[in-house]
Amino acid sequence: MKAARANAHYSIHRPVANEYLVRERDRRRLRDLAKVVLVLAPVALALTGFTWIHLQVLDAGYQIDRLERSLHELKRQESRLRLEAAYLSNPSLIERRAVDELGMRAPTVDQVLFAEEVR
Protein backbone atom coordinates (compact mmCIF):
# COMPACT_ATOMS: atom_id res chain seq x y z
CA MET A 1 0.00 0.00 0.00
CA LYS A 2 2.81 2.33 0.77
CA ALA A 3 4.27 1.65 -2.66
CA ALA A 4 1.06 2.68 -4.38
CA ARG A 5 1.02 5.96 -2.48
CA ALA A 6 4.62 6.56 -3.30
CA ASN A 7 3.88 6.26 -7.06
CA ALA A 8 0.80 8.47 -6.85
CA HIS A 9 2.67 11.51 -5.53
CA TYR A 10 3.29 12.85 -9.07
CA SER A 11 -0.41 13.17 -9.92
CA ILE A 12 -2.17 16.21 -8.67
CA HIS A 13 -5.90 16.22 -8.79
CA ARG A 14 -7.20 19.37 -10.46
CA PRO A 15 -10.68 20.06 -11.73
CA VAL A 16 -10.80 20.25 -15.53
CA ALA A 17 -12.81 23.11 -16.92
CA ASN A 18 -13.11 22.51 -20.65
CA GLU A 19 -16.33 24.37 -21.24
CA TYR A 20 -14.66 26.80 -23.59
CA LEU A 21 -12.69 24.27 -25.55
CA VAL A 22 -13.77 23.87 -29.18
CA ARG A 23 -12.71 20.91 -31.23
CA GLU A 24 -11.13 21.89 -34.51
CA ARG A 25 -12.40 20.29 -37.67
CA ASP A 26 -9.99 17.98 -39.36
CA ARG A 27 -9.99 19.29 -42.91
CA ARG A 28 -7.98 16.32 -44.23
CA ARG A 29 -10.60 13.92 -42.97
CA LEU A 30 -13.33 15.90 -44.70
CA ARG A 31 -11.28 15.99 -47.92
CA ASP A 32 -10.71 12.21 -47.76
CA LEU A 33 -14.42 11.64 -47.21
CA ALA A 34 -15.23 13.82 -50.22
CA LYS A 35 -12.78 11.83 -52.36
CA VAL A 36 -14.39 8.54 -51.32
CA VAL A 37 -17.86 9.89 -52.06
CA LEU A 38 -16.75 11.21 -55.46
CA VAL A 39 -15.26 7.83 -56.35
CA LEU A 40 -18.14 5.70 -55.06
CA ALA A 41 -21.04 7.88 -56.29
CA PRO A 42 -20.52 7.13 -60.03
CA VAL A 43 -20.09 3.43 -59.26
CA ALA A 44 -23.32 3.38 -57.24
CA LEU A 45 -25.09 5.36 -59.96
CA ALA A 46 -23.88 2.93 -62.64
CA LEU A 47 -25.02 -0.09 -60.63
CA THR A 48 -28.39 1.51 -59.99
CA GLY A 49 -28.79 2.28 -63.70
CA PHE A 50 -27.81 -1.25 -64.67
CA THR A 51 -30.27 -2.72 -62.20
CA TRP A 52 -33.07 -0.44 -63.41
CA ILE A 53 -32.41 -1.34 -67.07
CA HIS A 54 -32.31 -5.04 -66.21
CA LEU A 55 -35.64 -4.78 -64.37
CA GLN A 56 -37.19 -2.95 -67.33
CA VAL A 57 -36.03 -5.70 -69.70
CA LEU A 58 -37.50 -8.36 -67.42
CA ASP A 59 -40.78 -6.48 -67.17
CA ALA A 60 -40.96 -6.11 -70.96
CA GLY A 61 -40.30 -9.83 -71.35
CA TYR A 62 -43.12 -10.70 -68.96
CA GLN A 63 -45.44 -8.31 -70.76
CA ILE A 64 -44.56 -9.85 -74.15
CA ASP A 65 -45.23 -13.31 -72.76
CA ARG A 66 -48.59 -12.18 -71.36
CA LEU A 67 -49.57 -10.59 -74.69
CA GLU A 68 -48.54 -13.69 -76.65
CA ARG A 69 -50.71 -15.88 -74.43
CA SER A 70 -53.60 -13.44 -74.87
CA LEU A 71 -53.10 -13.47 -78.66
CA HIS A 72 -53.10 -17.27 -78.70
CA GLU A 73 -56.34 -17.36 -76.68
CA LEU A 74 -57.98 -14.78 -78.96
CA LYS A 75 -56.98 -16.77 -82.06
CA ARG A 76 -58.55 -19.89 -80.57
CA GLN A 77 -61.71 -17.95 -79.77
CA GLU A 78 -61.82 -16.50 -83.31
CA SER A 79 -61.47 -19.97 -84.81
CA ARG A 80 -64.25 -21.31 -82.59
CA LEU A 81 -66.53 -18.39 -83.51
CA ARG A 82 -65.85 -18.80 -87.24
CA LEU A 83 -66.74 -22.49 -86.98
CA GLU A 84 -69.92 -21.66 -85.08
CA ALA A 85 -70.86 -18.96 -87.64
CA ALA A 86 -70.35 -21.43 -90.50
CA TYR A 87 -72.51 -23.98 -88.69
CA LEU A 88 -75.29 -21.49 -87.93
CA SER A 89 -75.36 -20.06 -91.47
CA ASN A 90 -76.22 -23.47 -92.97
CA PRO A 91 -79.57 -22.93 -94.83
CA SER A 92 -81.04 -26.31 -93.85
CA LEU A 93 -80.30 -25.58 -90.17
CA ILE A 94 -81.90 -22.14 -90.45
CA GLU A 95 -85.03 -23.63 -92.02
CA ARG A 96 -85.26 -26.40 -89.40
CA ARG A 97 -84.89 -23.91 -86.52
CA ALA A 98 -87.51 -21.60 -88.09
CA VAL A 99 -90.00 -24.46 -88.28
CA ASP A 100 -89.21 -26.10 -84.92
CA GLU A 101 -88.55 -23.09 -82.66
CA LEU A 102 -90.61 -20.33 -84.27
CA GLY A 103 -93.40 -22.41 -85.79
CA MET A 104 -92.94 -20.90 -89.24
CA ARG A 105 -94.42 -22.69 -92.25
CA ALA A 106 -94.18 -22.14 -95.96
CA PRO A 107 -97.01 -19.81 -97.11
CA THR A 108 -99.94 -21.25 -98.96
CA VAL A 109 -100.84 -19.98 -102.42
CA ASP A 110 -103.71 -17.81 -101.17
CA GLN A 111 -101.35 -16.09 -98.64
CA VAL A 112 -98.93 -15.01 -101.36
CA LEU A 113 -99.41 -11.54 -102.79
CA PHE A 114 -97.72 -10.78 -106.04
CA ALA A 115 -96.38 -7.32 -106.79
CA GLU A 116 -98.70 -6.92 -109.74
CA GLU A 117 -101.76 -7.46 -107.52
CA VAL A 118 -100.74 -4.86 -104.94
CA ARG A 119 -100.55 -1.94 -107.39
Task: Read off the pTM.
Answer: 0.50
For 108, list phi and psi in degrees, rounded to 5. Answer: -80, 170
State the pLDDT at residue 8.
58
Whole-angstrom Cα distance, residue 58 to residue 55? 5
Lowest-pLDDT range of 18-22, 79-83, 88-92: 18-22
Whole-angstrom Cα distance, residue 88 to residue 82? 10
Say whether pLDDT at 6 is over 80.
no
Calculate ∠ Cα 74-97-84, nearest 5°. Answer: 15
What are the pLDDT digits (tens) for 52-67? 999 999 999 999 999 9
Per domain, the residue ranges of the chain are 23-104
What are the pLDDT digits (tens) for 10-50? 677 777 777 777 777 788 998 999 999 999 999 999 999 99
Rounded to a whole number of angstroms, the distance between the first and last alpha carbons of the chain is: 147
Q: Which long-range contacts (C-beta less than 8 Å, at least 24 apart) are formed by 42-47?
A: none
